[in-house]
Structure 1
């Protein structure tokens, strides 16, 4: 018995060491980024990115610059990304959950065909769809607007599929009880079923928020003016053949991580439960 206990402790210790190494390797780029944001530009030009921090060269001038008048453009990009990501998360959760819920719990003509279309679109790379979507934005005269960035991504196939898989495991008896009590179909969804789907909402809020916040290619295609750029597009403009603003680039990249961390901390208690349930039901 004691031998089994010691073997279990050894196995646990090895797992802790292994996952600590994996965690460090995963965090190494972030550590290098933070170190670069605290280093002078001359060191970046000479030594490049490194996780080694020299206390003698430690400075906060880069952060002071980004919070001064010279960083005003950066904060405009930041606000643009916050608006687009926030609205997109809310709309995507609202519409995608309703579509996924309907595909899971309602029987209607063409249900399987619609679900197959969702799976088909899910398998097509977004780069193939960009040209027709861009032509649609031109036809709707939405180029260089928030709506142009958000409209093609509001009902995401991955979100519809995820919500459908989660809703399949919900008891249909609750729907019948709601109808007996006089609830409308919308009332059943918002008052009875949606609260049961909270873990899936939390999981998709993180995934959709991360996708929207880091989205680069589509905003680059549909946005034209500097004041409308999102954060990834705006930071990319700091690297030009005529000069590179590494101080603002690295410091701005560090600050851009903050909303995603806050989003994850806010929804983390539902995240694992949502991913697990959505992945195994159906």
Structure 2
């Protein structure tokens, strides 16, 4: 009887493993298709679309050589996207974590009202507040600047909500003990709370960096000149009524995936822990 139970469990594990392998292959199909398509000329892509058909006589490195040789402003767009993503993520993590921590730990007047306003803002789409943000950006003289492309979203409601929920599960005894030892409130946050919130920082770092890296609408409104464009906007300029450079577009998109993959590889352990944490285990 025990042997049959072990056999059934082993068989169930094998079936589950095969099932997830099939799901992974299906999920990675678009990635394989776009990588293979980046080595094909534009005519081949227009005729047959993106597929997994390998034709050695068709594959070429011309798309990547065009990008790497400076045939376009690709690296300028890449640099702008990296600058915006890095500063946007750093400032967002810093200020959002401080706001979320304050809402979770301290008791002050109108605390619940402020948190309720954060929840309301989470439900408001960008299109509704776009015009006021546009006027504010003009009045601050931030049009066609990299700062104007990310400054309005430095303190976003979703990271504030996430940090508030995570900080609510941290042991308050550590804060009281630090205060008794004479540690300042800023010192408590940076020396004690920040190390405990590493999973939350990793989770929000990935989500915020991905959002900033792929952001298209707001940079399209703020940025005007070619040397200020981000990667998504710059790649979209390759498609015009006078010619569609799908080969270069796809090759540029493949290279654009690299920073996101690197970020996820470094923070994946903390990302999973941060997204599944509901409190601190005793």
TM superposition score normalised by structure 2: 0.96
Provide structure 1 residue ranges, at least 5 long, that are not aligned to the other structure.
Answer: none
Report which stretch shifted further, 248-257 or 27-36: 27-36
2:9 matched residue in structure 1: 8
Identify the residue that residue 62 of structure 1 maps to in structure 2. 63
Bigger drift between 167-176 and 129-138 goes to 129-138
Q: Distance in 2 between matches of 1:4 and 1:224?
A: 67
Aligned position for 1:252: 252
2:236 maps to which residue?
236
Query: Do the aligned partners of 2:78 and 2:230 also contact (CA within 8 Å) in 1?
Result: yes
3-state SS of 2:64 partner: helix
**Distance (whole Å) between structure 1 residues aligned to residue 40 and residue 273 of structure 2:** 41
Tell me how far apart the structure 1 counterparts of residues 136 and 221 of structure 2 sit (CA, whole Å): 13
How far apart are residue 56 of structure 1 and its match? 2.5
Structure-to-structure mapping, 1:133-172, within 5 angstroms: 133-172=133-172
Alignment RMSD = 1.3
How does 1:190-269 map onto structure 2 within 5 Å?
190-269=190-269
* Structure 2: segments with no counterpart, 5+ residues: none
Three-state SS of the structure 2 residue aligned to 1:69 is coil
Residue 95 (1) aligns with residue 88 (2): no
Q: What is the aligned partner in structure 1 of residue 43 from structure 2?
A: 42
Residue of structure 1 in register with 2:53 after alignment? 52
May I ask how many residue pairs the two structures share in their alignment?
279
**Match of 2:224, SS?**
coil
Q: Tell me the distance in 1 between the aligned counterparts of 2:5 and 2:56.
A: 47
Q: Match of 1:24, SS?
A: helix
Equivalent in the alignment of 2:18: 17
Cα distance in structure 1, aligned partners of 2:5 and 2:164: 44
Offset of residue 32 of structure 1: 1.1
